[in-house]
């Protein structure tokens, strides 16, 4: 098993969904978890306690509005003062579906800021320290929409394609840094297809409405259109892959965009 004792991981958007599942996997491997996301005090306290129960020696919340570069700089400085990050997971994301001609300009700006520009700023803050220590992991949660497009998702697709490209540039710039026994510095994307998270619920609800509110029928219809396995992924599956990418044995896995999509992008 991967041992992350002594490592600090910042996981953005880690109070629920895929981000929480990744934080859980890293906690179970002994990492300290810098929790981030949009949540009230009670939820923050609950998540931090939960991650400690999973094995994290420490779990603390760090605030930071990912739409604002100055707030991101403050977030990264606070996590650095706490002892990291050795592992950076850019998971936070937002979504809005509408035809290109009807997409509000402010929605475009917000989605690009959170889903792409924020990763640039966090990586710029984290990667130099990783290089100095000889070990570092950046795992950017892109999407199947970082590899193929879909209608009505112009800003989301643009951001996720950009995130894959940004990650490849960073991977090349840091590929030769660090040593194999320490694990080196790697930058990769995970590209989930349909996964059981709140971000896809509006699309499931819309499909279910066409079947008289039948949720299972709506999910089946959604999956049949894109995902050949016709199975949703669970967030824990993404967490398991992220954990493996953090292992020193993955030192030569860098610059990749790994789909977890039931064959979606194989078509």
Here the tokens at position 55 are 């094995």
Q: How many residues does the chain have?
A: 267
Rounded alpha-carbon distances, angstroms, from residue 37 to 4, 6, 56, 75, 155: 22, 23, 18, 11, 21
Backbone angles phi, psi at 96, to 5 degrees: -155, 130
Q: Active site includes 156?
A: yes
223 near 238, Cβ under 8 Å? no
189 near 245, Cβ under 8 Å? no
**42 Cβ contact partners less than 8 Å away, ≥ 6 residues apart:** none
Rounded alpha-carbon distances, angstroms, from residue 223 to 44, 120, 247: 33, 32, 32
Catalytic residue among 61, 156, 161, 174: 156
Catalytic residues: 156
């Amino acid at each position: 098993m991967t041992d992350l004792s002594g490592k600090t991981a910042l996981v953005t958007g880690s109070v629920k969904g895929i981000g929480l599942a990744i934080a859980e996997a890293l906690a179970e491997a002994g990492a300290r978890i810098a929790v981030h996301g949009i949540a009230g005090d009670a939820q923050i306290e609950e998540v931090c306690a939960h991650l400690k129960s999973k094995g994290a020696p420490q779990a603390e919340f760090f605030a930071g509005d990912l739409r604002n570069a100055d707030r991101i700089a403050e977030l990264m400085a606070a996590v650095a003062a706490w002892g990291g990050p050795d592992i950076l997971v850019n998971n936070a994301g937002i979504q809005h579906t509408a035809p290109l001609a009807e997409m509000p300009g402010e929605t475009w700006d917000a989605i690009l800021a959170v889903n792409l520009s924020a990763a640039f700023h966090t990586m710029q803050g984290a990667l130099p320290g990783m290089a100095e220590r000889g070990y570092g992991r950046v795992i950017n949660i892109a999407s199947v929409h970082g590899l193929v497009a879909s209608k009505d998702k112009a800003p989301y697709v643009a951001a996720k394609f950009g995130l894959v490209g940004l990650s490849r540039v960073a991977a090349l710039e840091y590929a030769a840094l660090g040593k194999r026994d320490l694990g080196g510095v790697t930058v990769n994307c995970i590209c989930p297809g349909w996964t059981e998270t709140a971000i896809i619920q509006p699309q499931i609800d819309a499909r279910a409405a066409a079947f008289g509110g039948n949720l299972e029928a709506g999910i089946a219809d959604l999956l049949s259109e894109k995902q050949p396995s016709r199975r949703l992924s669970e967030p824990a599956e993404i967490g398991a892959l992220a954990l493996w990418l953090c292992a020193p044995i993955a030192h030569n896995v860098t610059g990749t965009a790994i789909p977890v999509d039931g064959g979606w992008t194989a078509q």
